[in-house]
Chain A
Amino acid sequence: MIHGNIFRIRRLVWLLLFALLWTGVRPAMGAEVFLSATRSEAEKIPLGILQVVAPSNLVQHSSEIRSVLESDLRRSQVFRLIHPPLFPELANGAEPTADVIQKAGKQDIQAAVWISLSQKGEDLVMEGRVYDGKSGLMVMGKRYLSQTQYLRSMIHRFSDEIVFQYTGERGIAGTRVVFSSVLTGSKELYLMDYDGYNVRKITNDRSLNLSPRWSPDGNWITYTSYRGGSPAIYTLDLMSGRLWKMIGYAGLNISPVWSPSGQGLAFAGTMDGPAQIYWVDKEGKGLRRLTMDQSDNLSPAWSPTGTEMAFTSNRGGGPQIYVMNADGTNVRRLTFNGDYNTSPVWSPKGTAIAYACRIDGRLRICAISPDGAKTAQLTDGPGEDESPTWSPDGKHLIFSSTRMSEGDLFMMNADGMEMERLTFSGGKNNGPSWSP
């Protein structure tokens, strides 16, 4: 496969560029007021990976386990990574005793991770344990068994388990991102792991497929496709591969987005002339028009409770972000800075709306509180940034940018810090949507 090779090369480049790229953009003053990472460096839990034990035939995996897990845990914004010395007691794969753990605890390691890898038939077994540095007791242990090719996913699951153990909220390492790319000449949809690995194509109709969004249960991707000639809204079941047309009125049928309850979706259509926002149920029936003025209204974004919607409208001239109740009442303008603000996405916790803002002629990622009181510019630098999408924990944004290429995906903390490049495919990647 053509893109298979490209992605393999991409991984090498990824490693090389990694260090260069997570120098964050300085967020605008005030960003930290409502967007800062949940914990300051000092508040993060000091965590150290004591040892990754692997028999000689599997030893090539141990550095991968370490680096994937460290990246996952760093991105969780919960842990501060500490690199412990190699304790002689752990040589030859010995399991850690309470004494060793407490020794690590004295070096400020509050969460001590120990991993052992073994083989069971054709499969890999990864056993991960977390110990409390103070008491020396085991806090959590999990054993994962799968084919070698799914090692990264085992590591992601272990990372999410560690995050859950310390926060009560599942981590995001097991999440995925859908996006569109013209890698093969036509604009197709692709899926990738949240860290940019494991990219695979999910449409293959050599048409134009864009604006993919997840159903709230994570099973379906709903998007706009020109596969039938004109832009209509289709849904793809990721498990079965079943694809069906949901909405195909005259003119445009674009920017679909599922309500948080999954009972229906909002989208923009031009069946009545200008683009208006409509609602249909999950069967694509029960059409209801929500916006009523004669400008263009599109890109609806639900509040996490499903009671309100942010959207783009040019009723005041250029495009701006507006908010309305889910039934279309109580419309009010949210953004007033600049003459071009589009693509709103409501944060999962409801406290911020990220959007694409045009500043000094370039598109950037901005955020605003739903009451409009606080705003922040999150990105800067060369190129144009657009299509922000929130991580399910609300601590990160992924967006597309031309800052280093024709278009790739980048991840950053919700306050604009610690930017990382995720894709290197050279395929004009854009329109990302983060899975639940």
Chain B
Amino acid sequence: MQNRHSVYLALILGIGTVLLLSGCPKKVETTKASAPVQEEKATPPPEAPKPEPPPPAPKVEETPIVKEAVVPSQGLTDAYFDFDKYNIRDDARATLENDARWLKDNPKVKVKIEGHCDERGTNEYNLALGERRAKAVMQFLVTLGIEKGRLSTISYGEERPVCTEHNETCYAKNRRAHLAVQ
């Protein structure tokens, strides 16, 4: 700023001197704006004005809440977990033993084990936790005699809750491994 000032002052003084030397009879007016208004060649200004191509505004067909198609997994029950834990609880052990029995009765069925978390905790960490839960359930089913090739895993972290209230009853329902028939 100081530099600019002195440049402008120098300019003004310079011009003034030239005018004085050229014998101009009038007094030089130096009281006007000391810095010129610079025209910004911004037509339109670069950043924001560029209409972002990705948001395709014309596509107005917004469908509200598309629920994931519920895969009929009759006979299969979700296993539940404690907060920030992925060990198989005793109640989940019983559940998964039933699930394994059903899978043995239905030997052609393949299952994707979805790991889920409650909304507490942070999204990225919950993705890793959900993955742990899904893999823990897969491992448990394998030890019960289910072929690994029939099982796959995916983690949804806290992104796909089945219950949306903010209380422990809901959180407990969301901390689950869901067995989705493929």
Contact = CB atoms under 8 A, between A and B. Distances in A.
Interface of A: 1-3, 95, 97-98, 123, 127, 129, 137-147, 150, 152-154, 156-157, 165-166, 174, 176, 184-187, 191, 193, 198, 200-204, 206, 208, 210-211, 230-231, 236, 238-241, 243, 251-252, 254-255, 268, 270, 274-275, 296, 298-299, 312, 318-319, 340, 342-343, 356, 363, 384, 386-387, 402, 430-431
B35 A193 contact: no
Interface in B21-45: 31, 33-40, 42-45
A141 B45 contact: no
Interface stretch (B54-62, B70-78, B102-110, B140-148): B54-62
A319 B4 CA distance: 52
B51 to A, nearest CB: 9
Given A153-B45, A208-B159, A251-B131, A142 B124 contact: no
A251 B154 CA distance: 7
Contacts of B124: 211, 254-255, 268, 298-299, 312, 342-343
A430 B38 contact: no
Contact of B53 (A152, A156, A166, A241): A241
Contacts, number: 175
B54 A236 contact: yes
Contact of B122 (A187, A296, A342): A342
B82 to A, nearest CB: 13
A374 to B, nearest CB: 23
A430 B123 contact: yes
A298 B130 CA distance: 13
A145 B38 CA distance: 12
Contact of B125 (A140, A274, A319): A319
Interface of B: 1, 4-5, 8, 31, 33-40, 42-45, 47-50, 52-57, 59-60, 62-66, 84, 120-125, 127-129, 131-132, 153-156, 159-160, 166
A84 B153 CA distance: 65
A137 B42 contact: no
B80 to A, nearest CB: 20
A239 B39 contact: no
A138 B59 contact: no
Contact of B48 (A95, A150, A203, A208): A150
